[in-house]
Structure 1
């Protein structure tokens, strides 16, 4: 079932605990880490580059909270990344159901960003798997998409570890994109 105004995603979820992490709604204390995340040159490599720090700080609310679909990834009380479960805009390329017209509202898409100091430790896999498990519980049977640049081989490998299979490749944002789908167990 796809989220529509009549069937919104229940938000925020109760905090989700994994072996090492806590997925939770962002709080005011996360603001500095969110700024660091979105303005980091390393993080921005495959998402169109970092955002200008001063401009991002001006536009970011005092407390980066209250946004449905955004989960803060917390390690020992510190934000190390975010996971998103957003609706993919219907006008973007990539379809979960290529044989059908895309639903007017879009389709669910998993996204994630982690601070460079958290890379290579399995945190993204752990956090994304937990978010997908939660989503499967509230939206049983709903497929989820994931889009990443093909040049981001670590992200493609992560998608495959999470059970995503490639549906198509296309050009977007000046780069080739890998688009895959994950069907939850029935």
Structure 2
């Protein structure tokens, strides 16, 4: 993955009405392991990973990089939102050399259905749009992942293409402040 760049560093923290988005800390390690070991969470991302492998491989402070946000509710981690630039070989770019940042989100199943993913993702997108005006963000999800498809639409992502990968149809969309609901709204 290609970093967002030194000029684009997330603030510490981003606060929404109900959530705090912050850098990862050592206290998040157990929740990160729970997240990636969950069969429900893993359903559309290649399956759950074995807990013993995660215990050995997850660093003391997981996800320590620009663009990795721990989503906290009431002092506990409930998920993550990531914004990463990926290398040009990644399928689904708008253009081969676009290097657009990719939005990703994973939430513990106990946090599903409360609008936390939308609230956290929208806050990250707005922060990024303020930091890098005019730059688009992309998202890829399995088209069979209906909740993720609804979230992409609610955030204002516009479909660019669908393609087959990992034995499933993938949906690829693009977002800019001008396509998002409530666009024109500043900071």
Asked if residue 155 in structure 1 is aligned to residue 148 in structure 2, the reply is: yes
SS in 1 for 2:177: coil
Q: Of 65, 77, 80, which residue of structure 1 is paired with 2:78? A: 80
Residue deviations 1:93-141 (CA, integer Å, cap 9, x gap): 11224xxx424xx221100000000000000000000000000111111
Q: Of 35, 38, 53, which residue of structure 2 is paired with 1:37? A: 35
Q: How many angstroms does 1:8 deviate by? A: 3.0
SS in 2 for 1:96: coil
| Residue of structure 2 equivalent to 1:15 | 13
Where does the alignment leave 5 or more consecutive residues of structure 2 unmatched?
179-183
| Residue of structure 2 equivalent to 1:60 | 58
Asked if residue 164 in structure 1 is aligned to residue 164 in structure 2, the reply is: no
| Residue of structure 2 equivalent to 1:127 | 120
Could you tell me how far apart the structure 1 residues matched to 2:19 and 2:122 are? 12
| Residue of structure 2 equivalent to 1:69 | 67
Could you tell me how far apart the structure 2 residues matched to 1:181 and 1:151 are? 18
| Residue of structure 1 equivalent to 2:97 | 102
Q: How many angstroms does 1:68 deviate by? A: 1.8
Asked if residue 174 in structure 1 is aligned to residue 174 in structure 2, the reply is: no
Q: How many angstroms does 1:171 deviate by? A: 1.1
Matched residues, number: 178
Q: Contact 2:3/2:85 (CA < 8 Å) preserved in 1?
A: no
Structure 1, 157-166 or 84-93: larger mean CA deviation: 84-93
Could you tell me how far apart the structure 1 residues matched to 2:33 and 2:51 are? 7
Where does the alignment leave 5 or more consecutive residues of structure 1 unmatched?
none
**Pairwise CA RMSD:** 1.7
Q: How many angstroms does 1:66 deviate by? A: 2.4
What TM-score comes out, normalization by structure 1 length? 0.90
Could you tell me how far apart the structure 2 residues matched to 1:4 and 1:22 are? 22
